[in-house]
């Protein structure tokens, strides 16, 4: 009884508050990260050589540096050049660029998997390169990239827990505070982990729905194939 | 003012193309008057396909000039290239239908995006072209749901919708099962009857002979010999042409 009261009065409000901050971090970084990823993926396949190299460096650094190190640089590093980011902004920017770098790889792979004939056919009809990529190549590539990009979203949900290392108190941060305050690490972190599990399940369900809704013959998911 | 005598629709002069040190096209020239049908035959690797891609500027050649209706195409101007390509329909060996679009939208999309027609107008036009190739009943299907012959017919409809003045057909039936070749041939025959100007790369000698006014035999990047079908296909002057054509003819007799 005492436990339930404790959870209702102390744990739930704090964790809900943390969950809200987590969602505010995850959703915008997911959207912006995907956008950056698609853009840099396209540049890396079809872009001008100089832009291609720049996009390549972007992916190299943001996949190469540990995310925690990136967050430290955004939050603790930038003040040395006179730029002060709030913990939330630093976390948002860190997640967006890191996520974008991974998306970029999925999108690049998907673009490369589209047969060259598709571009040739579009060009032979008078499409310019931009139109051909945006209306012929990209719609196909995105379908192929969806499973990978979805996977990246799942990762993002979980690595958003690093935000509390730059003092942006989201779900894990709230959990940490509660746990050390009441000295109930096991219980609190079980609840916190469970909430992430629920978030991931919801995201997985939504991603499947999206995949279903854009599915067309020739772009099926593997489960549609008979394997025996 | 004197009305100029109708010159060639398409004139290709001295096209050369290198891949590294290897010269694929060694100065190809040809002319097509309105309604002309020329067939290009020759062993694989002779540059037939590259020639068609060059004529449409899908492959950038190293030397040579191309005129359409007396006007030289300035390949440094992207705008000029986009306009030119709209007037030249290209049919590929492996169809290259847009895999994410239905048959109808395959035909419709260039009308909307390139020709800037309204969606409803483009749709109407696309349906007319699909009907012309006998594919109207399948217009809601995706490429993955169509047979090879059906795909190729849709791709012909897609090219026709742009009102091309010349069609380039790159082995349109080579990827098809023998029993599907007929339906594509009959569509091409209809085009010929309608007076379409065409260059057709093919190994189907019977079809080429019945269709074309002139056959060009190509090998190692040069046109070795050209002339009317009866001469090239069965009575060529050049020994190499005779040898190649003889082989293909025997092959076809053997399968009959």
The model's pLDDT over B66-122, given as tens digits with 9 standing for 90+, comes to 999 999 999 889 999 999 999 999 999 999 999 999 999 999 999 999 999 999 999
Neighbours of B126 (CB within 10 A): 27
pLDDT of residue B153: 95
Mutate to test the interface with A, among B97, B99, B144 (most CBs of A within 10 A): B99
- In chain A, DSSP assigns E strands to none
Kindly state the tokens that stand for B67.
């005129």
For residues B211 and B36, the answer to whether their CB atoms sit within 8 Å is no
Q: What is chain B's Cα-based Rg?
A: 18
Classify residue A218 as left (phi > 0), alpha (psi -120 to 50) or beta. left
Across the interface, of B90, B113, B115, the residue whose CB is closest to A124 is: B90
Q: In order of start, what are the domains of chain A with their CATH numbers?
A: 2-224 (1.10.3720.10)
Q: Under an 8 A CB cutoff, do A219 and B86 touch?
A: no
The position carrying tokens 């007396």 is: B70
Neighbours of B247 (CB within 10 A): 11
CA distances, A44 to each of A41, A50, A106, A127, B244 (Å): 5, 10, 12, 21, 45
3-state secondary structure of B29: strand
A46-97 tens-digit pLDDT: 999 999 999 999 999 999 999 999 999 999 999 999 999 999 999 999 999 9
Predicted-complex ipTM score: 0.90
Of A97-106, A184-193, B205-214, which one has max mean pLDDT?
A97-106
Cα separation, B73 vs B67, whole angstroms? 6
Neighbours of B121 (CB within 10 A): 13
Q: Under an 8 A CB cutoff, do B110 and A135 touch?
A: no
pLDDT > 50? residue A37: yes
pLDDT of residue B1: 45
Cα B94-B96-B97 angle, rounded to 5 deg: 130
- Contacting residues of B for A118, CB less than 8 Å apart: 96, 98-99
A133 touches chain B (CB under 8 A): no
- Contacting residues of B for A130, CB less than 8 Å apart: none
A214 touches chain B (CB under 8 A): no
One-character DSSP codes across A120-146? HHHHHTT--HHHHIIIIIHHHHHHHHH
Least confident of A173-187, A189-203, A212-226, B217-231: A212-226
Better pLDDT: A5 or A120: A120
pLDDT of residue A221: 63
**Chain B residue with the nearest C-alpha to that of A217:** B144
Burial of A158 (0-12, 13-18, 19+ CB in 10 A): middle
Cα separation, B199 vs B215, whole angstroms? 10
3-state secondary structure of B229: helix
3-state secondary structure of B17: strand
A112 touches chain B (CB under 8 A): no
Greatest distance between any 2 Cα atoms in chain B? 59
Chain pair A-B, CB pairs under 8 angstroms: 76
pLDDT band for position A220 (cuts 50, 70, 90): confident
Which residues lie below 8 Å from residue B221, measured CB to CB, with a gap of 6+? Answer: B17, B23, B24, B25, B26, B28, B46, B47
Q: In order of start, what are the domains of chain B with their CATH numbers?
A: 34-100+165-255 (3.40.50.300)
pLDDT of residue B236: 77
* Pick from B59, B5, B31: nearest CA to B166: B31
pLDDT of residue A197: 97
Mutate to test the interface with A, among B60, B100, B112 (most CBs of A within 10 A): B100
pLDDT of residue B256: 46
**pTM of the entire predicted model:** 0.87
Cα separation, A171 vs A91, whole angstroms? 13
H/E run at residue A149: helix A138-159
B58 touches chain A (CB under 8 A): yes
Residues in chain B where the model's pLDDT stays below 50: 1-3, 256
* Pick from A136, A137, A130: nearest CA to A111: A137
pLDDT of residue B205: 85
Which residues lie below 8 Å from residue B140, measured CB to CB, with a gap of 6+? Answer: B102, B103, B104
For residues A199 and A39, the answer to whether their CB atoms sit within 8 Å is no
Q: Under an 8 A CB cutoff, do B85 and A123 touch?
A: yes
Cα separation, A70 vs A143, whole angstroms? 30
CA distances, A190 to each of A163, A184, A187, B164 (Å): 19, 10, 5, 68
Kindly state the tokens that stand for A194.
């469970």
To the nearest 10°, report the CA torsion of A88, A90, A94, A100.
70
């Amino acid at each position: 009884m005492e436990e339930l009261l404790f959870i209702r009065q102390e744990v739930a409000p704090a964790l809900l508050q943390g969950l809200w901050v987590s969602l505010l971090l995850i959703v915008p970084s997911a959207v912006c990260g995907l956008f950056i990823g698609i853009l840099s993926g396209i540049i890396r396949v079809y872009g001008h050589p100089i832009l291609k190299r720049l996009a390549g460096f972007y992916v190299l650094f943001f996949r190469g540096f540990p995310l925690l190190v990136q967050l430290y640089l955004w939050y603790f590093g930038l003040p040395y050049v006179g730029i002060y980011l709030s913990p939330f902004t630093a976390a948002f920017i860190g997640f967006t660029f890191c996520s974008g770098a991974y998306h970029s790889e999925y999108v690049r792979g998907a673009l490369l998997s589209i047969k060259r004939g598709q571009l040739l056919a579009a060009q032979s009809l008078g499409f310019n390169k931009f139109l051909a990529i945006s209306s012929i190549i990209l719609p196909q590539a995105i379908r192929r990239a969806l499973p990978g990009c979805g996977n990246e979203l799942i990762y993002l949900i979980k690595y958003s827990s690093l935000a509390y290392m730059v003092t942006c108190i989201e779900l894990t941060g709230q959990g940490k505070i509660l746990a050390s305050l009441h000295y109930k690490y096991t219980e609190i972190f079980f609840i916190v982990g469970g909430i992430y599990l629920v978030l991931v399940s919801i995201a997985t369900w939504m991603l499947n729905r999206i995949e279903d809704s854009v599915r067309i013959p020739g772009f099926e998911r593997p489960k549609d194939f008979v394997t025996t | 003012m004197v009305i100029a005598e109708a010159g060639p629709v398409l004139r290709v002069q001295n096209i050369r193309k290198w891949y590294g040190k290897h010269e694929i096209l060694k100065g190809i020239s040809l002319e097509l008057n309105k309604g002309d049908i020329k067939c290009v035959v020759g062993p694989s690797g002779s540059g037939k396909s590259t020639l068609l891609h060059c004529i449409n500027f899908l492959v950038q050649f190293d030397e040579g000039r191309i005129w359409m209706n007396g006007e030289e195409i300035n390949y440094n101007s992207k705008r000029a290239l986009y306009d030119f390509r709209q007037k030249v329909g290209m049919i590929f060996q492996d169809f290259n239908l847009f895999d994410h679009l239905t048959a109808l939208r395959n035909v419709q999309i260039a009308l909307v995006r390139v020709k800037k027609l309204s969606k409803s107008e483009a749709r109407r036009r696309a349906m007319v072209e699909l009907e012309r190739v006998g594919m109207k009943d399948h217009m809601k299907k995706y490429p993955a749901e169509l047979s090879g012959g059906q795909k190729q017919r849709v791709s012909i409809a897609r090219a026709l919708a742009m009102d091309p003045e010349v069609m380039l057909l790159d082995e349109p039936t080579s990827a098809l099962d023998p029993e599907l070749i007929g339906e594509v041939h009959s569509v091409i025959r209809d085009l010929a009857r309608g007076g379409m100007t065409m260059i057709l790369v093919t190994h189907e000698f019977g079809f080429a002979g019945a269709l074309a006014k002139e056959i060009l035999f190509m090998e190692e990047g040069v046109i070795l010999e050209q002339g009317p079908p009866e001469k090239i296909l069965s009575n060529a002057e050049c020994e190499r042409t005779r040898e190649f054509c003889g082989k293909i003819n025997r092959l076809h007799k053997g399968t009959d």
